[in-house]
Structure 1
Amino acid sequence: MLKLLHNVLHPHPAASIKQSWSPLFQSFSEIVLLVDQYLNIYEYNVAWINFIHIDHSDRTLIPQQDFSHWVYPEDVYYFKHLLNHPQNSQYRLRLMDGKNNLHWFEVSANYIQHDPKHNKMYWCLICSNQTERIKEQYLQVAQQRSLNDLLKRLPIMLYRSRNDRDWTMEYVSEGCEKITGYAAHQLLNTPLYGNIIHPDDEAEVWEVSQTAIRARTLFYLDYRLIRANQNILNVQEIGQGLYSESDMVLGVEGVIFPNAG
């Protein structure tokens, strides 16, 4: 009865289009829809019924025949525009379920054919719910942003360097300027950091770090830096070596911060 009501309200496209629909789609966990470029729905599988929360026991209910009814309003024009170009593509689309909850989907839009008589292009949409994965991505981005904001505010310098006496920097966090007085671009790929270690401390810094790197342990350093304004800053450093699978030393990474003592 559900199918009959659907067909009465929205007749099927041409027989050649109907052949694009397979009974196997009913076993898919992904939503599968047959639509035209105006987002009229012609066929749908059980996953679609479950998503929009149609009650299987209530035969008076039928799925909304206009797919745009379920598409997040800001995405409707964009998606219709894309379906006016006969090219298979992958899209990210926001859909609202029958309880008005927002979901993110990866949509594979597979072009079927053009019906010039009715000026319609038909598409098979396979929609995979990616809501949990995308929520996790957003959470990771938010956490990373919070960490970056924290590192910008604190006088802490994270670094990755080559294992040479110049401590040639391959990466430094923005806190480097609070520590050294030099911007990141001035420190990267130059011998500058090694040159601003106080000459009386340079030998000990090298010896202690190299002993720890050979032992594959953390090293802890206290030494003096000559900042860009020529003032002396006492700093602490915690670092460790970076190694290849064959135990080759690839570099050094660590954190440098003012010595509170």
Structure 2
Amino acid sequence: MLKLFRRPAQVYPLQLLHSYWSPVFDRFAEAVLIVDQYLNIYKSNITWQHFSQSDMQDLSLSLYPEDVHKLKSLLSSPQLTESCRIRLRDAQQNLRWFELSANYLVSQPETQQYYWCLLLSDHTEKIKQQYRQSAQQRSLNDLIKRLPMMLYRSRNDFDWTMEYLSDGCVDVTGYAPTELLNTPRFGQMIHPDDAPYVWSSVQDALNQKGIFDVIYRILLDGEQVVWVQDLGWGVYSESDMILAVEGVIWRTAEQMPEPIIDSISLKK
């Protein structure tokens, strides 16, 4: 296997490979290379030369070690087009991410050597941004999981049929999110004496495109009374149809005041 991957560059095909090269490649923002399956470089455009700042003829010297075998394996048999993501070190040894498109050119049957044209597009900043967003999302999800409150999205029906619930659902209701999703169970937990008040208060706020803030009782296991506070708002279509209700619910020691409705219009 080592011998296979270390085969030196062949001289014979150079003239043939020149026929696949175009001066237009030097105008590309992407790096363009003609290589064989052993990553010997036969031709390169100006973008690649600026990136590498050397006349190296071995692409593997710039590749991140873990990606060398991946790319050689990708080029080990002729296909029409292959693609993958690789990491390369620039002349200052900074690691950069590239989207690679490999287009098969021709083979040399007597040596079982395959030749490819590689198009390398630098996606470093895009991938760094994705990593930052992913890290931020993980931090936000971790925070939501630790909060003793329930973030929700529900249908605007009398049962408050839940379409999304955070893990804080357990702290508020005693149920796991999966036990309440797409069921009428949460609406049935609301104390019968409070259910009309909750419905009318929320509808008044939604009709004004405002924020509702209501306090009411829910019944755990049909018996234990728990007071909760529900702060939420509507989700609207472009034609002002109410698509859903979103908000957050947490347990509170306070008891039911007069309905509180914030009629400040929400931005869509």
The aligned residue for residue 105 of structure 1 is 98
Residue 244 of structure 2 corresponds to residue 251 of structure 1: yes
8 Å CA contact 1:180, 1:228 repeated in 2: no
Using the alignment, how far apart are the partners of 1:13 and 1:22 within structure 2?
17
Letter aligned with residue 120 of structure 1 = Q
2:38 alignment counterpart: 38
> 1:11 offset after TM fit, Å?
4.4
Q: Secondary structure at the match of 1:133?
A: helix
Q: Over aligned residue pairs, what C-alpha RMSD do you find?
A: 1.7
Q: How does 1:112-261 map onto structure 2 within 5 Å?
A: 112-228=105-221, 230-259=223-252, 261=254
- Matched length: 245
Which residue does 1:82 correspond to in 2? 74
Instruction: Give the corresponding residue for 1:66.
Output: 58
After TM superposition, give the deviation of residue 231 of structure 1 in Å: 3.0
d(CA) in 2 for partners of 1:247, 1:140:
31
1:3 corresponds to: none
Distance 1:229 1:139, change over 3 A: farther
What is the aligned-residue identity percentage? 52
Aligned residue identity for 2:166 = S
Q: Which amino acid aligns with 2:47?
A: A
User: Aligned partners of 1:24 and 1:228: how far apart in 2?
Assistant: 73
Rounded Cα–Cα distance in structure 2 between residues aligned with 1:122 and 1:11: 13
Amino acid at match of 1:67: L
SS of the equivalent of 2:83 reads strand
Q: Check 1:70–1:199 CA distance in 2 against 1; reply closer, same or farther (3 A cut).
A: same
Give the C-alpha shift of residue 204 in structure 1: 1.0
Higher deviation after alignment, 251-260 or 129-138: 251-260
**How many Å separate the matches in 2 of 1:209 and 1:171?**
18
Contact 2:189 2:222 (C-alpha < 8 Å) held by counterparts: no
Q: Deviations over 1:134-180 (max 9, x none)?
A: 01101111111111111111112111111001000011111111111
> Which residue does 2:28 correspond to in 1?
28
Using a 3 Å threshold, how does the CA distance of structure 1 residues 12 and 66 change in structure 2: closer, same or farther?
A: farther
The whole-number CA distance in structure 1 between the counterparts of 2:15 and 2:58 is 21
Q: Which moved more, 1:145-154 or 1:219-228?
A: 219-228
Amino acid at match of 1:93: I
The unaligned stretches of length 5 or more in structure 2 are 1-8, 255-268
How big is the shift at 1:258? 2.1
| Runs of 5+ unmatched residues, structure 1 | 1-8, 55-61
Structure 1 letter corresponding to 2:247: G
Shift of 1:230: 4.3
TM-fit CA distance, 1:233: 2.3
Per-residue CA deviation, residues 58-104 of structure 1 (Å, 9 max, x unaligned), is xxxx4211101111101111111011132202211111111111101
Q: CA deviation at 1:244?
A: 1.4
Q: Name the structure 1 match of 2:15.
A: 15
CA distance in 2, matches of 1:132, 1:95: 14
Shift of 1:259: 2.1
Contact map agreement 1:71 1:94 (CA 8 A) in 2: yes
In the alignment, the residues of structure 1 paired with residue 69 and residue 26 of structure 2 have an alpha-carbon distance, to the nearest angstrom, of: 29
- State the TM-score, normalized to the length of structure 2: 0.87
Residue identity matched to 1:65: Q
**2:84, 2:99 within 8 Å by CA — same for their partners in 1?**
yes
Inter-CA distance 68–252: structure 2 relative to 1 (3 Å threshold): same
- The 4+ residue runs of structure 1 with deviation greater than 6 A are none
Q: Which amino acid aligns with 1:49?
A: Q
3-state DSSP of counterpart to 1:118: coil
